[in-house]
């Protein structure tokens, strides 16, 4: 489990943005299965459909 991005630049100011959330146990729910991703989708693109 990572607490955010993997950054090799130690001078990056945003390197620990997610560290406190991790320490607090404030994890984000992830949609792993296809049906769960589709339930959360705000827009679904169909190949050849140029309307939005």
Q: Measure CA 1 to chain center.
A: 13
Instruction: Kindly write down the DSSP assignment for every residue of the chain, as one continuous string.
Output: --SS-----TT-TTTTTTHHHHHHT-PPP---SHHHHHHH-S----TT----
Instruction: Give the pLDDT of the chain (52 residues) as one tens digit per residue.
Output: 555 556 677 777 776 777 788 889 888 888 999 999 999 999 888 888 876 5
**Residue pair 31/18 in contact by the 8 Å Cβ criterion:** no
pTM for the complete prediction?
A: 0.44
Q: What is the rounded CA–CA span in Å between residue 13 and residue 16?
A: 8
């Amino acid at each position: 489990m990572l607490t955010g991005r993997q950054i090799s630049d130690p001078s990056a100011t945003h390197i620990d943005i997610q560290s406190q959330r991790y320490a607090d146990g404030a994890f984000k729910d992830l949609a792993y299965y296809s049906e769960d991703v589709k339930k959360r989708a705000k827009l679904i693109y169909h190949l050849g459909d140029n309307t939005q």
